[in-house]
């Protein structure tokens, strides 16, 4: 089976309910979906069937009492029926960022376009009622693009987590 995950995309910022969708080819394939980070794991099932490409979708709700220790999770979609005769089951993994581990009460995010002279602290001051210490929240939510907190590019798009 060929598997393509369309949602979430790599390093998407996700909440407690993670929506997963994509395309798969196989014969009445049952897809196992796993969200994990090495310390905890949640699973769901989706179906992709027939002999041509078919869409699949599922969702996994992560409970508040999860045991995740890291804010980077991995969404893996596997066709367990595709393994056999020494062939590994087809599988695709996408890394995502778990908003509730970045900001307590996470509900979504704003998008912010960096302008000349801005720093993570000045952006945090604007979005977090003067709290410049929240610059780390912004960095964690953009860890795949903000590798150095002292270097922002003019025009760079940042995700600003929100909790209301």
Architecture of domain 108-162: Roll (3.10)
Q: Is the pLDDT of residue 78 over 80?
A: yes
For residue 160, is pLDDT > 80? yes
Average the pLDDT over 12-20 and give the result.
97
Q: Nearest to residue 92, comparing CAs of 13, 21, 12, 158?
A: 21
Question: Residue 77, CB half-sphere, CA atoms under 13 Å: how many?
Answer: 30
Flag whether pLDDT at 1 surpasses 80: no
**Helical (H) or strand (E) element with 73:** strand 72-79
Sign of CA dihedral 100, 106, 107, 113: negative
| 2-99, CATH topology level | Immunoglobulin-like (2.60.40)
Query: pLDDT digit string (tens) for 21-77?
Result: 998 876 567 889 999 999 999 999 988 765 566 888 999 999 999 999 999 999 999
pTM over 0.95: no
- pLDDT the model gives residue 49: 64
List the domain boundaries for the chain.
2-99, 108-162
User: Which of the 8 DSSP states describes residue 145?
Assistant: T
Q: Binning pLDDT at 50, 70 and 90, where does residue 128 land?
A: very high
What single DSSP character describes residue 51? S
Q: Which residues touch 164 (CB under 8 Å, ≥6 apart)? A: 105, 107
Please, are residues 58 and 100 in contact by the beta-carbon 8 Å criterion?
A: no
C-beta separation of 24 from 3 below 8 A? yes
Task: Count other C-beta atoms under 10 Å from residue 53's C-beta.
Answer: 12
């Amino acid at each position: 089976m060929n598997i393509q995950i369309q949602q979430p995309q790599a390093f998407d910022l996700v909440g407690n309910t993670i929506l997963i969708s994509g395309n798969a080819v196989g014969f009445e394939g049952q897809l196992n979906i796993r969200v994990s980070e090495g310390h905890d794991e949640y699973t769901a099932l989706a179906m992709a069937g027939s002999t041509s490409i078919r869409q699949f979708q599922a969702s996994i709700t992560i409970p508040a009492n999860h045991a995740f220790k890291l804010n980077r999770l991995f969404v893996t979609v596997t066709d367990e029926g595709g393994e056999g005769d020494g062939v590994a089951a087809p599988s695709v993994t996408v890394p995502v960022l778990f908003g509730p581990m970045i900001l307590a009460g996470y509900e979504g995010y704003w998008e912010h376009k960096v302008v000349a002279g801005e720093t993570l602290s000045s952006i945090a001051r604007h979005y977090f009622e003067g709290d410049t210490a929240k610059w780390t929240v912004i960095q964690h939510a953009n860890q795949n693009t903000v590798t150095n907190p002292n270097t922002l590019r003019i025009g760079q798009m940042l995700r600003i987590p929100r909790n209301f």
